[in-house]
Structure 1
Amino acid sequence: MNKIVLMGECMIELLQDKQSGQIAGQSFAGDVYNSAVYLKRLFPAVDTKLLTAIGGDSMSDAMLSRFASEDLNNQLVFRDPERLPGIYLVQTDDEGERSFLYWRESAAARQVMQFVDAPETLQLDAGDVFFFTGISLAIIEKSHREKFWTVVSQLKQQGVKIAFDLNYRARLWSTLEDAQQQFANAYQLADILIPGVDDFEQMYPSLCNGNIDSAEAIVAFFQDYEFLELIIKNGEKNIIVMTQDERAEIDVQRVTNVVDTTSAGDSFNGAYLGARIAGKSMQDATRLAAKVAGEVIQHPGAIVPKDAFSKLDV
């Protein structure tokens, strides 16, 4: 197990200055792209491929160059000359919490499945990892969903490990019921589940009505599924790490200098999956991932400077 394919969208990221309201910077970001970058930086020996589609324009050229500068494998980055990348604007408040404005309806990444003919396209072997998120699901054209699930099912049958993070964004779905149905397909196939409490509370409010602990509601919910690893991100409280037979709770060190929480979960995912591919235990992978996320939220933007992790013991 030394390869991973991460499927999703990379967008043009615009940062807004809180005082002036003007654009303060431009970069590239997207949940699985962010995860891929952090995974590759921390574990350079892992063959890290993005599965996405970009346009034929100059910004897409710059995006592709950025992928290469992060040492990502671009074999599965497809070009659609008729489309453009999506764009989003990041606004942050005084506590570092972020909100977004998106322009992505006609983004090239929505058409990525037209470039995937069969599981063999992804060049994965038994033991390798295929990772996607709720955002990955949301942006796929509805007419391509059946093909997507067929490919993922075949990957699982071939022994590829399927990893899924809920990353639910209500605005990307026509209805909550549609999202729940698509997520249920993911739960059935996933070997590695990485839910966050916030996402779960939005998706299943009747299970998190304030009378019970939301993390425990997640534990109970996923008992109906045959996962290998369940990692529940519970904010500043703790992280619950489970297999079908064991459970551990990992403490999270509180961060006081929060600047921007944009890529906290994405960096956690990248660090955790990279650590597991590199042979670390679930507990050690979780501790590293928590430290990485804690460092990332002390910097503006989704992708922090490369030297930010110089003091981490990987």
Structure 2
Amino acid sequence: MPDVVTIGETLLRLTAPPGFGLEQTEVLRLEVAGAESNVAIGLSRLGISSGWISRIVNNPLGRRIVNKIREHGVDVSRVIWTSEGRVGLYYLELGRSPRPYQVIYDRAGSAFSQIDPEEVDWDYVRQARLIHLTGITPALGPNCHRLICRAIEEAKSGGVKVSFDINYRAKLWSVDSARQVIWPILSSIDVLFCTTREANQILGLEGDPETMLREAAHRYPNLTIVLTLEEGGALLWYKGQIYVQSGYPLEPIDRVGAGDALVAGFLAGFLQENPPQGLAYGVAYAALKHTFIGDIAWCDLSDLEQLIKNQFTNWR
């Protein structure tokens, strides 16, 4: 059985070539993209066995998604196949400063949004060491909210650790709606990932990043917390200690998926009972992801170790 199980929706991503707007381009590149499957792929590429659960339409588009995820060594045996609904899409324009990235979702009525928690093989989930979930899933509707609650309940009953990335998407729900759903979840998880912006918007924290992290740890003393910085790098709260990992100079090509790469890198260290090392892996993996088109960082553990050679994580 896999060490890590992720649960969530994966879309087909249609991307305009760099330098082209969606209104302008005559070509769109087709990619497979989903926060939870990105993490599963990232872990698999780092040598951590992973499985991904979703609900997918059994048509060429759905099979394209599942086959691509399987190619990276992820166990897709618990995918729920259906003839109902559709595959979700999103369109991406890769901005360059001062022009921002632009995302257009076309995912309403997707097969995953209609998932029934009873369809999931929960025995499979209970045999993992950790499950990873994100705040994107409950934003997709009541079925998906129930799915997240059930997943946490099943994990806790089986002694499985729960990792949760806030991953707030303003195009999917409001800040108030996200708070109403996410706040009750935080008392039942083990590892929390959030950006400084999410810490402010969703958790209501203020101040510099270290102040935010200490306040979050005070509210949720049992959590391991990874706080990512907009300028790169991240902070870690682990067993009463703050660890700091600086970012890397970047020449970004595509930043989408960098947060998921950071999660995968961190969890690789966390599962080896070395969260500070995981922080170094995560920041390195996120930096490398910026250099690849698509949601996936096509690298392995040796690439991370090469990047962080002669680097170290400070602590205080």
Q: Do both share a fold (TM > 0.5)? A: yes
Q: Structure 1 residues 244-253 or 77-86, which shifts more?
A: 244-253
Structure 2: which amino acid aligns with 1:181? Q
> How do residues 264-279 of structure 1 correspond to structure 2 at under 5 angstroms?
264-277=258-271, 279=272
- Residue 145 of structure 1 is matched in structure 2 by 145
- CA 1:260–1:97: 2 relative to 1, 3 Å: farther
- Any residues of structure 2 matched to 1:221-232 within 5 Å, and which? 221-232=216-227
The within-5 A match list for 1:1-314 is: 3-17=3-17, 18-19=19-20, 20-43=24-47, 46-95=48-97, 98-116=101-119, 119-125=122-128, 128-139=129-140, 141-143=141-143, 145-146=145-146, 148-173=148-173, 175-204=174-203, 207-208=205-206, 212-236=207-231, 238-255=233-250, 257-277=251-271, 279=272, 281-304=274-297, 306-307=298-299, 311-313=303-305
Please give the alpha-carbon distance, in whole angstroms, between the structure 2 residues aligned to 1:13 and 1:23.
13
The DSSP-based 3-state class of the residue aligned with 2:76 is coil
* Partner secondary structure for residue 54 of structure 2: strand
Structure 1 distance, partners of 2:32, 2:232, is: 30
Partner SS for 1:313: helix
Q: Which amino acid aligns with 1:109?
A: F
Provide the TM-score with structure 2 as the length reference: 0.86
Offset of residue 238 of structure 1? 3.7
Provide the C-alpha distance between the structure 2 equivalents of 1:117 and 1:230, rounded to a whole number of angstroms.
Answer: 28
> Which is worse superposed, 6-15 or 107-116?
107-116
**Counterpart Cα distance in 2 of 1:56 and 1:294:** 35
The separation in 1 between residues aligned to 2:256 and 2:135, in whole angstroms, is 16
Q: Secondary structure at the match of 1:262?
A: coil
Query: Structure 1 residues 219, 110: CA separation in 2 closer, same or farther (over 3 Å shift)?
Result: farther
1:5/1:195 CA distance change after superposition, 3 Å: same
Q: What is the TM-score with the length of structure 1 in the denominator?
A: 0.87
Q: Which has the higher contact order (CA 8 A, sep 6+)?
A: 1
Counterpart code for 2:133? F
Which amino acid is 1:27 matched to?
E
Relative to structure 1, the CA distance from residue 93 to residue 112 in structure 2 (aligned partners, 3 Å threshold; closer, same or farther) is same
Segment of structure 1 superposing worse, 230-239 or 29-38: 230-239
CA distance in 1, matches of 2:144, 2:167: 20
What is the CA distance between 1:114 and its match in structure 2? 3.8
Contact 1:89 1:102 in 2 (8 A): yes
Distance in 1, matches of 2:52 and 2:3, equals 11
Q: Is 1:76–1:122's contact at 8 Å kept on the other side of the alignment?
A: no
Q: 1: CA distance between counterparts of 2:143 and 2:136?
A: 16
Give, in angstroms, the shift of residue 203 of structure 1.
Answer: 2.6
Change (3 A) 1:215 1:14: farther
C-alpha contact 2:13 2:90 (8 A) present in aligned 1: yes
The separation in 2 between residues aligned to 1:149 and 1:311, in whole angstroms, is 36
The one-letter code sitting in structure 2 at the alignment partner of 1:197 is: T
Q: Bigger CA drift: 282-291 or 93-102?
A: 93-102
Question: 219-228 vs 55-64, which deviates more?
Answer: 219-228
Change (3 A) 1:272 1:311: same
5+ long unaligned stretches in structure 2? 307-316
Task: Provide, for residues 92-111 of structure 1, a one-character-per-residue CA deviation record: whole Å limited to 9, x for no partner.
Answer: 11249532110111111213
Separation of aligned partners in 2, 1:187 and 1:103: 29
Q: Aligned letter for 1:16?
A: A
Shift of 1:297: 0.4
Q: In angstroms, what is the RMSD of aligned CA positions? A: 2.4
